[in-house]
Amino acid sequence: MSVPASVLYPPFNIVRLSHIVLTVTDLQAARAFYADTLGLQVTAEDERRVYLRALEERGHHCIVLEKGDRGVANELGFKVFDEEHLERAKAHFDQQGLPTEWVEVPFQGRTFRTRDPLGIPLEFYARMDRLPPIHQQYALYKGVKPLRIDHFNCFSPDVRASVEFYNSIGFRLTEYTDTEDGAELWAAWMHRKGGVHDIAFTNGLGPRLHHVAFWVPTPLNIIDLLDVMSTTGYVGDIERGPGRHGISNAFFLYVRDPDGHRVEIYCSDYQTVDPDLEPIRWDLKDPQRQTLWGAPAPRSWFEEGSPFRGVGLTASKLKSTPIVAP
């Protein structure tokens, strides 16, 4: 099987992923989890929303918690190069027949919202309010010491279609898993910022958010977080890990927030800046694909995810099954 070719001169320039908006049912419980336990920094809040950033970030927020009736995922945010590229991005989505709308978003400049062809809600902007640097204010380093948002991972009912679309807007494929006969993609990792991925897609009922990930300084920070969670009432929210992925080579831990949104704590992947870097192929049945070492992923990791607000679900195109923990 051939994988879709990279588009090195896309219609507009996406710099990187930026932020995510999550609806939560108990705003204070969510705030306690993300700020007090994980260690993200609160930058603004009111009775309906809490805005947070990680310690190396200068933008106003990388995650927004929004109070609602049920836990759902909302927009995945991306920063584009400048205002010209923002206009070009909107024009491109319009030309593709996808819905676009200019919206007012606190702490951001001109912003438009759209959806990808499978329904994932997206948000694009060029300017966000800048805050003073805090990366050397080490007294603020709490919890797992999150440095920056790293990536999104989404369930897709058609991974190849997702890869073709995100290739067309400049994302480059770094690693992928295909089926036993090599006929179809089962999962794919794609980047803009030069790591292994800004966004990834895994075969499954979707579209749904699988997880949002935060980069941390070292694996020891993950061990510290496990100690904290196990002694502050969150031990049941530790879902998978610690371990090291085969894909990405990253050290990982997966935890769930009070509404079940999955968060990956992540470090130690590799650089992918070269535009002609060949993607790495993995076989679906290779046990070191998902876990180079550590316990296999539990069934919940393959089946549970956060629905996107207002998006219907489609059964996955493929029925192949990876290795699942007993």
> Which residue reads 């607000």 in tokens?
309
Q: What is the per-residue pLDDT across 203-240, written as a single tens digit (0 to 9) for each?
A: 999 999 999 999 999 999 999 999 999 999 999 999 99
Report the C-alpha gap between 66 and 261 in whole angstroms. Answer: 13
Residues 154 and 255 both lie in one domain? yes
CATH number of 84's domain: 3.10.180.10
Q: What is the mean pLDDT of each run of 10 residues along the chain (326 residues)?
A: 86 98 98 98 98 98 98 98 98 98 98 98 98 97 97 97 97 90 86 97 96 98 97 97 94 98 96 94 86 91 95 89 62
Q: Is position 156 within any domain?
A: yes
Report the C-alpha gap between 246 and 4 in whole angstroms. Answer: 22
In this prediction the pTM is 0.96
The SS3 of residue 97 is: coil
Q: What is the per-residue pLDDT across 5-61, written as a single tens digit (0 to 9) for each?
A: 889 999 999 999 999 999 999 999 999 999 999 999 999 999 999 999 999 999 999
Residues 124 and 34 both lie in one domain? yes
Residues 206 and 100 both lie in one domain? no
Domain tally, the chain? 2
Q: Which domain holds residue 190?
A: 142-307
Q: 135: Cβ–Cβ under 8 A, 6 or more apart, which residues?
A: 55, 56, 147
Residues 159 and 71 both lie in one domain? no
Helix (H) / strand (E) element for 212: namely strand 208-215
Strand partners, 307: 208
